[in-house]
Amino acid sequence: MTTFEHEPYKKVIIKNLVHENLENFITQCNTRWQKDVFWVNGMIIAIPRVKYYDSEKEYDDMTNGIQYFEKVIFAKFLKYTPNLAQKNCVGCIQVLDYSNNIKFKELAKWIESQTIWNTVPEKTQGDVEIDE
């Protein structure tokens, strides 16, 4: 019989934490990454999927419970909505409600404790529509 075991990472290393305004956040997700983002604790979070473990050290770290993220992007977004789209944009982003996920709640709390949380992201021209 197969046994299953959940072994969460002991440590997550984030190389670049980026605070974006909502329009830039949506644009980046639509043009560069997956269409799913995560909502938790009044923010939306995107973790671009980047190939890791190109070196023996990173592979060893992974087997020892250390995860690397090249970039984590967040935008303050108080109320959950299942989809986000920009005006005149065909694609939309699916927003997954991860408010009950312990690890994402820990990540959100950590982001809120960082100095970057209190910064004002650069503004862009244009409006953002929220599809509900």
pLDDT digits (tens, 9 = 90+) for 8-63: 889 999 999 999 998 888 888 877 766 679 999 999 999 886 655 567 877 788 88
Provide the pLDDT for residue 34: 63
Considering its fold, how many domains does the chain have in total?
A: 1
Is pLDDT of 111 > 90? yes
C-alpha angle 101-115-84 in degrees, rounded to nearest 5: 50
Domain of residue 77: give its range. Answer: 18-46+72-119
Q: Is residue 33 part of a domain?
A: yes
pTM: 0.82
Q: Is residue 53 part of a domain?
A: no
Q: Is residue 6 part of a domain?
A: no
Q: Decide: 48 and 33 in contact? Cβ < 8 Å.
A: yes
